[in-house]
Structure 1
Amino acid sequence: MMRKIVNPSSINNLESPRLTLTIYFALWKALLLTLVLLSPGPGYDVSTHLLPNFEPVDAASSVLRRAQHHLASRLIRWDAIYFSQIARRGYVFEQEWAFGWGHTRLLAFVGHWVAGSREVAGVEDVVLAGMVLAHLFHWMSVIVLYDLTLEVWKAKKRQKVVTFAFLCAALHIVSPAGVFLSAPYAESTFSLLNFVGCYLYAKALRRQSKDAEVVAAGLLLLSGVVCGVATTFRGNGLLSGLLFVLGAGKEVAHFLVNVKNRARRDALLAFRRLLYFGLSGALMACTAFWPQYFAFQHICVDLHDGKGRPWCYSYLPSVYSWVQQEYWGVGFLRYWTMSNIPLFMLAAPMLVIMISSSIWAWIEGSSRNGNLIRYGDVPPMTVVLHLAMPQLVLCLLALTTYHVQIITRLSSGYPIWYWWLAVLVVRHPEMATLGTRFKVSKGILRWMVLYGIIQAGFYASFLPPA
């Protein structure tokens, strides 16, 4: 399958790229789920079997019922235990607020629908709901990445761009996030929402270049809302706020230049655009911090003994930051210990790929070469540069502050490294001149596939990495 994906000549004449992507998607998921089903034993941790209302099925049950239970039991691993428990009975303990409010609420809603006539959804209902949502949203994010690539890399030679977009979307199918995009985790939902937010942002910039001010403003505001919703699923979504900061900074520069040149009309236009970026960022912030408000009301206001937790008295109270620091040991260089060296080695390939692609976007985005595909009046690499900043900051935070090993699954929701890798594989000179300077072996692609396969078996057996 991978040979067909990485061979540009085999996809130059695609008649139905979305259908072909769907077939590849189904084959890859079938392989991963087969590995999950065949994994031996409960693993070294029996937390899954200690969950309430998750008893083994009766031996007299149908083969389908037993397979369903077996699959669910193999997918409730690591953080999925928290997600399923919170979705089933709500937030009870303070440390549970580290797990995305948007994701647990969505799991709870769909879990109740799966439960049907039963008044309370069980753990298995929630897990099956999460599995269905993960597959659906991962497939949708594959299609959205394809459309996002077409939107950004506009060119007269459309067939080459279709090939390029197909390859990027195919790479997302075999993302190193692997089985986390099939389990009841938030990665697939975040990928979808982040790609949609990027798509709306890129489309807004293009509309701005065509002087469609009202349409551009609407798209930009909608992008802010979508990016804010994405943050309720994964906290690293806050980094998407850099898109609006960069856009606002650019408009500030335009405003000052036009004021200096006494170009009143252009100065007013830059000022209005600055307001649009500011409002979009504000909408994102309000949407993103809505769960924080719920946590503050629950823990800091609705108290029976009148004593609040330490984070309640901060100038900007955030239960998420507090829990990450207090319970999970997140903090600057706190993860830099000898025992964690294997985890840094595990994360190294993805960190190198993401940092290299961010540097590529920075160099190309800052270039004034005229051989780049034009994006209306905006060079595509200018758009790529904006989208690269959240990815670069994520890598720096993972390297210095986060649990570094999770970068392999967080990477799934960022489009830049897919574009960079596709540029190096396809080697279209009009895509980016810098891409041809790197000698890229098929080792990266083989690593992605092998990592996903090995990870599926390890995950189902309750073994790291998580």
Structure 2
Amino acid sequence: MQVKVRTLERGLSIDSSPTAHSVRNGSPNAKSRREDLTSPDLRIVRFAVVSRVTVIALSVLSDWIIPDHNPDTSVERLSTSRWLMAFTRWDAARFTTIALEGYQKEEDYAFMPVLPMAMSIGTRTLGILVPHIGPSATVAIGLVITNCCFVLAAWLLYRLGLLVLRDQLLAFRSAMVFCFSPANVFFSSVYTESPFAACSFGGLLLLELNRPWLGALLFGIGTGLRSNGILNAGFLAYQCLFIIVQDLQRGHTLLRTLVERSRKHAVLMLGVTLSVGPFVVFQAYAWQKECYAGDACAEAGECKLSEQPPDWCQGSMPSIYMHVQKKYWQGGLFCYWQLKQIPNFALAAPALALTASGVHHILTDFGRQLGRWTEVSCESKPTPRAGAALYRAVLVCPLLPHALHWGFLATYLLLCANVQIATRVLGSGCPVFHWFLASLLFSRSPGKTSRLLKCYIGIFNCLGIIMHPNFLPWT
């Protein structure tokens, strides 16, 4: 029986391989069945490892061959081994400095603490065995963490695709496309993209396996890696709404479903709190460190001018993250929309265009299914149950929550953030980005779109490896 993934592929049959057929329908030979199940997993892991080794080697070679650009003096720099200099550029230097010295500068608070904490713990542990280690060891530990997380993320993306797409071939191809991500160079540097992808994909996989607590725990770690991790709490909230709609179409009242499913709703809402919590705790830590200490010395009358509490401390809901983003990275609604930023918008344009196309297809399909089931409900029953059509439309469109998350994140990046980070943020946080990209690349009727996407992936991979290790501005 052939199954089609709605919106991802226009008429593309996703059950076209013998392997996919055997996974769904089983095999009379148990050994063969086990081989069918494990072989794709091993191939993905091997390919992900090879891709990381390749990116790391090419980055080092690029750093050696091409002279470094000298950015302005405000950019963090780090002195380390010649072999590791390619991985200390831009944010990587900031993460390493925080791991070594803690949060010393105001702008450091734009970077969430989990990766620096992991690097710091690794450095101290290694220091017990090897005394007198320097910053190079911290960078090396960061590289090990991020690249191991990438391999894990590729495998988790495949496993998640099997459950959501119900198609082994497309899930496998999506994991392979992930290994050729346009933001590849960031996945192998000391950046949060790889660990965040592992947490996001893993959390979503656990939700599909009906393990919301463990999923929320991974979402929480992801929030401790990147602030946009708080959006993953939306998947837990979506499950709550789905349960309500499911009960409504069965004829239950809203009050009844809230009472009878109170335990399930409580678990999911606590999961939302767990997902968002690390961001709130980090803001509280910054407030205590930067504001409370200043207030104490002011009361004692011993403050110097430089020790006075900063202005952001006086806000009704003080957030150093929002303050730093606005002050140093032009964060805020339309703040980044300046003529001089046109090149950065051009860098983000392909990822944003893919997002617009993918979200449009998924939402259009959902609207079509909703209309169809509404008509069916009205024809079959004079007084259709509330939520019946919505419930059925959601069931046949499992990508709906992914599309909502994908579209919201892209819209925020376009309107409120330094937009050039869109490629790596969407690539690390949205599995549907890779599902949609793979469906276009491997369409049965490849045309101009497929060729353009292959050029996009190839060009961004090459330029990333050339520009990023040499301190040139890149997404």
Q: TM-score range by the shorter chain?
A: 0.7 to 0.9
1:283 aligns with 2:274: yes
2:40 aligned with 1:17, yes or no?
A: yes
Structure 2 contact 394–400 (Cα < 8 Å) conserved:
no
Q: 1:178 aligns with which of 177, 184, 195?
A: 184
Q: How does 1:271-310 map to 2 (within 5 A)?
A: 271-303=262-294, 304-306=296-298, 307-310=308-311
Say how many residue pairs are matched: 413
Match of 2:400 among 385, 388, 395: 385
**Alignment CA distance shift 1:34-1:118 (3 Å):** closer
Cross-structure match for 1:409: 424
For residue 202 of structure 1, the aligned residue among 183, 204, 208 is: 208
AA aligned opposite 1:391: W
1:422 equivalent in alignment to 2:438:
yes
In the TM superposition, 1:194-273 aligns within 5 A as 194-204=200-210, 219-253=211-245, 266=257, 268-273=259-264
User: Are 1:44 and 2:44 an aligned pair?
Assistant: no
Kept in 1: contact 2:427–2:433 (CA 8 A): no
Q: Which among 386, 390, 399 is matched to residue 414 of structure 2? A: 399
* 2:140 partner letter: L
Structure 2: distance between partners of 1:150 and 1:199: 10
Cα distance 1:267–1:299, how it changes in 2: closer, same or farther (>3 A)? closer
Cα distance in 1 for partners of 2:459, 2:18 equals 22
* Number of the residue aligned with 1:312: 313
Q: 1:180 to 1:116 in 2, by over 3 A?
A: farther
**Hey, what's the Cα distance between the residues in 1 that align with 2:18 and 2:449?**
19
Residues 186 and 424 of structure 2 are in contact (CA less than 8 Å); yes or no, is this contact kept in structure 1? yes
Listed one character per residue, the Cα deviations across residues 48-73 of structure 1 (whole Å, up to 9, x for unaligned) are 99957x36xxxxxxxxxxxxx32311
Q: Shift in Å at residue 397 of structure 1?
A: 1.1
Larger displacement relative to structure 2 (270-279 or 407-416): 270-279
> In the alignment, is the contact (CA less than 8 A) between 1:145 and 1:195 conserved in 2?
yes
- Matching residue's letter, 2:225: F
**Corresponding residue to 2:142 among 108, 130, 154:** 130
Deviation track 1:13-58 (CA, whole Å, cap 9, x = no partner) reads 9941122223322332333223212222551127799957x36xxx
CA offsets per residue over residues 324-347 of structure 1, 9 Å max, x none? 112222111111111111111111
Aligned partners of 2:191 and 2:19: how far apart in 1? 32
Determine helix, strand or coil for the equivalent of 2:297. coil
Identity %: 25
Aligned residues of 1:88 and 1:108 also touching (Cα < 8 A): yes
8 Å Cα contact 1:86-1:96 kept in structure 2: yes
Question: What is the CA–CA distance in structure 1 between the aligned matches of 2:152 and 2:395, rounded to whole Å?
Answer: 24
Structure 1 residues 22-31 or 176-185, which shifts more?
22-31
User: What is aligned with 1:152?
Assistant: 164
How has the CA–CA distance of structure 1 residues 118 and 399 changed in structure 2, closer, same or farther, with 3 Å as cutoff?
A: same
> Higher mean Cα deviation, 277-286 or 142-151?
277-286
Q: Distance in 1 between matches of 2:344 and 2:440?
A: 27
Residue 108 (str. 1) matches residue 120 (str. 2)? yes
TM value normalised by structure 2: 0.78
Matched, 1:35 2:44: no
Deviation at 1:319, TM superposition (A): 1.3
CA contact (8 A) 1:77 1:462 kept: yes
Mapped contact 1:152–1:383 kept (Cα < 8 A)? yes
Equivalent residue for 2:197?
191
Work out whether 1:98 is the aligned partner of 2:110.
yes
Could you tell me how far 1:367 is from its partner in structure 2? 4.3
3-state SS in 2 of match to 1:289: helix
Match for 1:44: what amino acid?
H
Tell me which amino acid in the other structure corresponds to 2:48: F
Assess, with a 3 A threshold, how the Cα gap between structure 1 residues 297 and 17 changes in structure 2: closer, same or farther.
Answer: same
Q: Tell me how large the CA RMSD over aligned residues is.
A: 3.2
- Per-residue CA deviation, residues 394-434 of structure 1 (Å, 9 max, x unaligned), is 11111111111111111222101211223334558xxxxxx
Residues 325 and 10 from structure 1, CA distance in 2 versus in 1: closer, same or farther, beyond 3 angstroms? farther
Residue 325 (structure 1) aligns with: 326
Residue 83 of structure 2 aligns to a residue whose secondary structure is: helix
- In 2, the alpha carbon distance for the partners of 1:296 and 1:49 equals 25
* C-alpha spacing 1:121/1:330, structure 2 compared with 1 (3 Å): farther
Contact 1:153–1:380 (Cα < 8 Å) also in 2: no
Q: Is the 8 A contact 1:180 1:409 kept in 2?
A: yes
CA drift of 1:115 comes to: 4.1
CA contact (8 A) 2:244 2:254 kept: no
The one-letter amino acid paired with 1:124 is S
Displacement of 1:301 in angstroms is 1.9
How far the C-alpha of 1:76 sits from its partner, in A, is 0.6
Q: State the 1:261 CA deviation.
A: 5.5
Offset, 1:454 = 1.9
SS of corresponding position for 1:315:
coil
Letter in 2 for 1:384: L
Contact 1:248/1:277 (CA < 8 Å) preserved in 2?
yes
TM-score by length of 1: 0.79
Aligned 8 A contact 1:134 1:188 in 2: yes
Question: Where does residue 338 of structure 2 map in the other structure?
Answer: 337
Structure 1 unaligned segments of length 5 or more: list them: 1-7, 56-68, 155-160, 205-218, 371-375, 429-435
> Quick one: distance in 1 between partners of 2:143 and 2:291?
34
Q: Distance in 2 between matches of 1:135 and 1:170?
A: 16
Note closer, same or farther for the CA distance 1:33–1:292 as it changes in structure 2 (3 Å cut): same
Q: CA deviation at 1:379?
A: 6.0
**One-letter amino acid matched to 1:242:** G
Contact 2:223–2:276 at 8 Å: present in 1 too?
A: no
SS in structure 2 opposite 1:330?
coil
Q: Which residue of 2 aligns with 1:458?
A: 467
